[in-house]
C-alpha cells in the first residue's frame, strides 16, 4: 500500500525546494558574493586603452589585435567591428589614450600623452574594409593647460586591400603649441551610433608631420605591446580605465573572495586627477545605461557588506538605477562613509514608483569631481561582498532550518493583513518574510524589525500561498497561508 504521508511529505518538500530556488536564485543579484571570476591575459598596444581592456568580457571577439601583416617593422594594429554571440550587439574595435571623454563632446576632450611641439598633420598607412553605411575614423585631439585647443577627425570608408598612405593636414591649423595629445582610431562610426559587423581598419607606421621629434609615447609603429592580466567578477562590468584596480580580494566578509575597488592617480598631459574604480552589473553606452538584471518588485531591500579607507577625505557611493522597457524610471544613491574595521552591514530600502523590469547596481570608489580633484584621495579603497536583495538571498554557504524557535503567523486564513510574531531571541537578526504564489513567484516581501509586525496584504489576490521567514543565513519557518476575500 502506498504510504500517503510519505508521498505528501515528498511532494511538499519538492514544492519547498522549487519555491526556495525561485525566491533565492531565479532573480538573485548574479554573482553578488563575488565568488566567480574570469581571468584573462589581454595583449594591448602600450600606452593605450582599447576595446579589449575596457570590455574584457568581449575580448573573445578580437576587435583590437596585433597582426604580423606590417607595412614597416614587425607588427600593425587591426580594428574590427564584431557581433557578440551573447546579446547580438555590435562591438567596434578601438584604441585611444583618452582617459576621460567627459560629456561625449570631442571638442571638450583633453589630456593624453605629453607633446612639446606644434604639429601640422598626421600621416601613416592603412588597409580597410568598411561596410556600406559605416565608416571608420582616426582622431587626433590637442590640449593645453587642461583645455582643448583642437580636435581632428578623419573618416575612412570603402575597401583598400593593400597598404595605402594617408597624409592629413590639421585644418584649421593649431594656433599654439599643445602640451598633450590624444590619438586613437575606431572601426565604426560610433559618434553617429553606427556599428556594422565586419567593418575593419588596419594601421601602421603613423607619425606626426611638422615636428622634429615624435612624442615619446606615440607608439605609432605599433611595435610595443603589453600583456595585462585582468581578473573580472563574472556577471559584473568594470567601468574603470585601469582594469587592474578592480581586483579579486581575499579580504572578504564571507566565502572565499570579495572585490577591491581602488582609486588611482591619472595624468592627462599637464592635468592630474584621481580616477575612481567602478563595478556595476550594467554598463554605459552612447545612449545610456544598459544591462542590469531582471527585477520586478516595487519594494525590496538591497543588502551588502563593505569596508572603505581613504588617505584623503573622500567617500564611496552606491547607485541603484531602475529601468522599464529600456527606459530609466528612477534611481537612488547612498554615500558610504569610511569604515576600516570589520565589514559593515548596509540595509538600503528600494521603493520604486511604477513596476520596473530591470535593476542596475553600481559601486564607485569616489563620489564626484570634488573627490577626483583632491589628489590626496588616490589610494582610497572600497571592499565589497555579499551584495544581495532581501527577497532573493545569496546562498554562500548552505542555509539551515532553525527548529529551536517558532513564530506565530495569524490569522490564517487571512484577508486584509497578517500578524507575524517573532521570538525575542531573533528580532535583531535581520528577519524578513516572503509570500509566494503556487508558481513560486514572490508577491510580497517585508523586513521584520519588531517582535510583532502587521503585514498588509493589500493587492494580494485571494488564493493559497506559501510564506517563508528567514534571516541572512537560515530558513526559520515556512508554511501555507490561505488568503481570502
- DSSP-derived secondary structure for 250-311: S--SSSS-EEEEE-EEEEETTEEEEEPPEEESEEEETTEEEE-EE---SEEEEEEEEEEE-S
End-to-end CA distance of the chain: 40
Residue 191, helix vs strand vs coil: helix
Question: Residue 51: which H helix or E strand, with range?
Answer: helix 51-54
State residue 14's pLDDT score.
Answer: 37
- Average pLDDT of the chain, as a whole number: 84
Q: CB atoms < 10 A from the CB of 213, how many? A: 9
State residue 347's pLDDT score.
Answer: 86
Give percent above pLDDT 90 in the chain: 48
Q: Judging by DSSP bridges, how do beta strands 327-336 and 316-324 pair with one another? A: antiparallel
- Give the C-alpha distances (Å, rounded to integers) separating 144 from 151, 208, 353: 12, 18, 47
State residue 58's pLDDT score.
Answer: 81
Q: Which triple of cell numbers denotes residue 415? A: 484577508
Q: Judging by DSSP bridges, how do beta strands 474-483 and 400-401 pair with one another? A: parallel
| CATH class of the domain defined by 4-26+397-483 | mainly beta
Q: Which triple of cell numbers denotes residue 32? A: 553578488
State residue 2's pLDDT score.
Answer: 34
**Residue 187: which of 176, 177, 199 has the closest Cα?**
199
Of these ranges, 147-151, 203-207, 385-389, the one predicted with the greatest mean pLDDT is 203-207
Judge whether residue 370 has pLDDT over 60.
yes
Give 205's pLDDT tier (boundaries 50, 70, 90).
very high
State residue 104's pLDDT score.
Answer: 53
For 236-389, CATH gives 2.60.120.890
Does residue 395 or residue 190 have the better pLDDT?
A: 190
Question: Residue 382: which H helix or E strand, with range?
Answer: strand 381-389
State residue 26's pLDDT score.
Answer: 35
Judge whether residue 25 has pLDDT over 80.
no
**Residue 190: which of 164, 151, 145, 153 has the closest Cα?**
153
- Give the C-alpha distances (Å, rounded to integers) separating 400 from 24, 159, 395, 469, 477: 14, 64, 11, 12, 11
Tens of pLDDT, residue by residue over 231-272, are: 889 999 887 766 667 788 999 999 999 999 999 887 654 567
**Residue 351: which of 295, 431, 434 has the closest Cα?**
295
Topology match between the domains 4-26+397-483 and 47-223: no
Tens of pLDDT, residue by residue over 305-350, are: 999 999 999 999 999 999 999 899 999 999 999 998 889 999 888 8
**Residue 30: which of 361, 466, 257 has the closest Cα?**
361
Least confident of 16-25, 96-105, 267-276, 414-423: 16-25
Of these ranges, 217-221, 410-414, 439-443, 477-481, the one predicted with the greatest mean pLDDT is 217-221
Judge whether residue 157 has pLDDT over 50.
yes
User: Could you tell me if 373 and 252 are in contact, meaning their C-beta atoms sit under 8 angstroms apart?
Assistant: no
- Is CATH 2.40.170.20 correct for 47-223? no
Q: Where are the domains of the chain?
A: 4-26+397-483, 47-223, 236-389
Amino acid at each position: 500500500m502506498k504510504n500517503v504521508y510519505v508521498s505528501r511529505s515528498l511532494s511538499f518538500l519538492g514544492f519547498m525546494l522549487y519555491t526556495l530556488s525561485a525566491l533565492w536564485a531565479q532573480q538573485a543579484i548574479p554573482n553578488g558574493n563575488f565568488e566567480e571570476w574570469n581571468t584573462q591575459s589581454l595583449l594591448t598596444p602600450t600606452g593605450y586603452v582599447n576595446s579589449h581592456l575596457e570590455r574584457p568580457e568581449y575580448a573573445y571577439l578580437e576587435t583590437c589585435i596585433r597582426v604580423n601583416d606590417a607595412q614597416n617593422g614587425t607588427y600593425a594594429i587591426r580594428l574590427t567591428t564584431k557581433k557578440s554571440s551573447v546579446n547580438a550587439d555590435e562591438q567596434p574595435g578601438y584604441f585611444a589614450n583618452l582617459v576621460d571623454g567627459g560629456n561625449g563632446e570631442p571638442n571638450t576632450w583633453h589630456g593624453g600623452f605629453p607633446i612639446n611641439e606644434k604639429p601640422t598633420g598626421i600621416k601613416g598607412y592603412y588597409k580597410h574594409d568598411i561596410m556600406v553605411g559605416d565608416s571608420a575614423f582616426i582622431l587626433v585631439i590637442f590640449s593645453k593647460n587642461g583645455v582643448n585647443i583642437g580636435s581632428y577627425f578623419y573618416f575612412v570608408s570603402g575597401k583598400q586591400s593593400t597598404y595605402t598612405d594617408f597624409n592629413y593636414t590639421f585644418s584649421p591649423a593649431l594656433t599654439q603649441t599643445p602640451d598633450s595629445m590624444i590619438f586613437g582610431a575606431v572601426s565604426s562610426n560610433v559618434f553617429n551610433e553606427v556599428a556594422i559587423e565586419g567593418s575593419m581598419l588596419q594601421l601602421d607606421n603613423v607619425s606626426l608631420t611638422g615636428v622634429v621629434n615624435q612624442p615619446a609615447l606615440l607608439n605609432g609603429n605599433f611595435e610595443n605591446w603589453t600583456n595585462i592580466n585582468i581578473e573580472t567578477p563574472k556577471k559584473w562590468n568594470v567601468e574603470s580605465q585601469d582594469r587592474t584596480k578592480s581586483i579579486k580580494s581575499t579580504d572578504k566578509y564571507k566565502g572565499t573572495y570579495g572585490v577591491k575597488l581602488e582609486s588611482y592617480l591619472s595624468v592627462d598631459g599637464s592635468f592630474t586627477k584621481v580616477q575612481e574604480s567602478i563595478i556595476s552589473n550594467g554598463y554605459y553606452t552612447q545612449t545610456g545605461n544598459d544591462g542590469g538584471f531582471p527585477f520586478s518588485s516595487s519594494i525590496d531591500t538591497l543588502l551588502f557588506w563593505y569596508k572603505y579607507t581613504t588617505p584623503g577625505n573622500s567617500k564611496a557611493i552606491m547607485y541603484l538605477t531602475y529601468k522599464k522597457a529600456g527606459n530609466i524610471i528612477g534611481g537612488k544613491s547612498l554615500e558610504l562613509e569610511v569604515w576600516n574595521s570589520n565589514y559593515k552591514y548596509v540595509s538600503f530600502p528600494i521603493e520604486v514608483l511604477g513596476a520596473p523590469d530591470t535593476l542596475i547596481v553600481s559601486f564607485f570608489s569616489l563620489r564626484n569631481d570634488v573627490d577626483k580633484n583632491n589628489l590626496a584621495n588616490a589610494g582610497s579603497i572600497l571592499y565589497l561582498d555579499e551584495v544581495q536583495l532581501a527577497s532573493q538571498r545569496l546562498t554562500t554557504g548552505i542555509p539551515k532550518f532553525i527548529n529551536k524557535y517558532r513564530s506565530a503567523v495569524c490569522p490564517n486564513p487571512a484577508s486584509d493583513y497578517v500578524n507575524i510574531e517573532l521570538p525575542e531571541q531573533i528580532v535583531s537578526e535581520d528577519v524578513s518574510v516572503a509570500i509566494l504564489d503556487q508558481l513560486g513567484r514572490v508577491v510580497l516581501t517585508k523586513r521584520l524589525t519588531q517582535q510583532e509586525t502587521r503585514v498588509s496584504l493589500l493587492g494580494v489576490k485571494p488564493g493559497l500561498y506559501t510564506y517563508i521567514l528567514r534571516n541572512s543565513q537560515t530558513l526559520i519557518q515556512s508554511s501555507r497561508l490561505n488568503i481570502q476575500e
